[in-house]
Amino acid sequence: MFAAEDQPMSLDELIEDAQRVLRVCNACRYCEGYCAVFPALARRLEFTENDIHYLGNLCHNCGSCLYACQFAPPHEFQVNFPKLMAKVRGQTYRKYAWPGFLGALYEQNGVAVSLITAFSIGLLFLLAGALTNPTAFFTAHSDAQGSFYALMPHNLMAGVFGVVSVFVAIALLMGFLRFWPYMGEDLADFFKPKPLGEATVDALTLKYLDGGGENEGCTYPTEQKSFSRKTCHHLTFYGFMLCFAATSVATFYHYVLKQPAPYPFWSLPVLLGTVGGLGLLIGPAGLLWIKHQRDPEFKVPEQAGMDAGFLVLLFMISLTGLLLLAFREAAAMGTLLAVHLGFVLALFLTMPYGKFVHGMYRLAALVRFHLERRRPVPGLAPE
């Protein structure tokens, strides 16, 4: 009954192994205090594939349960819950990707992300350089001359990203719309204010990276609790949100206030982008570093490319963005602009087919957790 093989598994094999491990966890329950996953699994006697995708995405991979597990390898029960759940998440992302055939991009995600990045940068070189004005591309432009827009007309830039954004939004939405009912939930229930609010707070505060309520951080990258992961993730996420805010403010300036870029350093869009950009430099670099430091028993080699691809993109966007800010009046501006926008485009294109989706499925699982915990539990043995 108990022989987990440490190699890539098909979805069916994975579900079967998860059912075995979840039975162990359900009969043990020592980890109930660590996070939402264990109370959620304790509500069930049997585990369907839906349940396993749900629990997989509820798991934050903090590592506490593996360190605490009396049945962890080399014990013959071979229980490695966080690693199993990481593998499940990989399958979730693949299974619910839209359009379905693009789910295959998760198979060699690191390679896919790299190729799409190369393509995006190439495309931007063509758009910014070759197609518009090749000689101007390697010339310095002052802010007074309009900087970026001297090379690439605003409407072209906005047009390309506008179309891609709409596609990305649709693809992500479709992924969610396929996943949520699959868990057996009504769409309307997702919007119930209390569960949605609680789940949002859990997500924004990374509640389940808190070591089980003692506010001591989590067992990542090593067994000793630390705030490394929480801090790096906050820097990444809020850095990303600040950059997003910078773009939004700039759009407002452009269309409503009729003030086209470039903006001075002390302007709101540039300040937001700079602070966010610093977060996006330190955060992803830190996450990559602690991922590298992590105890090997947690690592899922076939997913390393997916994790790294996403983080490297975020890091490079920020790095090239900040360089662009520093050198926007220099001759290198054209090259930097193409590279920067190339990375941004690659991030957009891979959003529905990369690690980015973890946030969406995690939030959905958290909402479901808060919906479910209000429902009566099937009766168990007398206390």
Question: Least Å distance between CB 382 and other proteins?
Answer: 4
At 92, the amino acid letter reads T
Pair of tokens at residue 317: 């966007």
Q: Under a CB-based contact definition with an 8 Å cutoff, are residues 285 and 258 in contact?
A: no
Closer CB to other proteins, residue 21 or residue 152? 21
Residue 152: Cβ within 10 Å count: 22
- Choice from 31, 37, 243, 357 touching other proteins (CB under 8 A): 31
Closer CB to other proteins, residue 5 or residue 214? 214
| Contact set for other proteins, span 167-206 (CB under 8 A) | none
Closer CB to other proteins, residue 77 or residue 137? 77
In this structure, what is the dihedral angle of CA atoms 39, 42, 44, 45, given to the nearest 10 degrees? 170
Question: Least Å distance between CB 277 and other proteins?
Answer: 38
- Choice from 8, 11, 32, 102 touching other proteins (CB under 8 A): 32
- Choice from 169, 223, 248, 293 touching other proteins (CB under 8 A): 223
Q: Under a CB-based contact definition with an 8 Å cutoff, are residues 107 and 293 in contact?
A: no
Question: Least Å distance between CB 28 and other proteins?
Answer: 5
Reduced to 3 states (helix: H, G, I; strand: E, B; else coil), residue 90 is: helix
Closer CB to other proteins, residue 19 or residue 133? 19
Query: Pattern of binders to other proteins over 37-76, x per CB under 8 A?
Result: --x--x--x------------------xx-xxxxxxxxxx
Q: Under a CB-based contact definition with an 8 Å cutoff, are residues 377 and 383 in contact?
A: no
Question: Least Å distance between CB 69 and other proteins?
Answer: 7
Closer CB to other proteins, residue 142 or residue 224? 224
d(CA 182, CA 54): 10
Closer CB to other proteins, residue 264 or residue 382? 382
| Contact set for other proteins, span 228-287 (CB under 8 A) | none
- Choice from 6, 13, 30, 134 touching other proteins (CB under 8 A): 30
| Contact set for other proteins, span 276-315 (CB under 8 A) | none
C-alpha neighbours within 13 Å on the C-beta side of residue 242: 20
Closer CB to other proteins, residue 34 or residue 353? 34
Length of the chain: 383
Task: Verify binding: residue 27, other proteins, rule CB under 8 A.
Answer: yes
d(CA 105, CA 46): 32
Task: Verify binding: residue 16, other proteins, rule CB under 8 A.
Answer: no
- Choice from 17, 34, 40, 110 touching other proteins (CB under 8 A): 34
- Choice from 193, 264, 296, 379 touching other proteins (CB under 8 A): 379
- Choice from 188, 214, 266, 375 touching other proteins (CB under 8 A): 214
d(CA 175, CA 382): 42
Burial class (CB in 10 A: 0-12, 13-18, 19+), 215: exposed
- Cβ contacts of 121 within 8 Å, gap of 6 or more: 338, 339, 342, 343, 346
Q: Under a CB-based contact definition with an 8 Å cutoff, are residues 351 and 314 in contact?
A: no
Question: Least Å distance between CB 15 and other proteins?
Answer: 15
Task: Verify binding: residue 378, other proteins, rule CB under 8 A.
Answer: yes
Closer CB to other proteins, residue 110 or residue 221? 221
Reduced to 3 states (helix: H, G, I; strand: E, B; else coil), residue 218 is: strand
List % helix, strand, coil for the chain (3-state, nearest 5). Answer: 70, 0, 30
Pair of tokens at residue 20: 């075995």
- Choice from 212, 286, 309, 352 touching other proteins (CB under 8 A): 212
CA 154 to chain CA mean position, Å = 29
d(CA 51, CA 184): 9
Closest by Cα among 86, 7, 76 to 52:
86
Name the one range near other proteins by CB under 8 A: 210-218, 259-267, 288-296, 355-363.
210-218
Tell me the number of residues near other proteins by CB under 8 A.
Answer: 39
Interface ranges with other proteins (CB under 8 A): 1, 23-24, 26-34, 39, 42, 45, 64-65, 67-77, 212-214, 223-224, 378-383
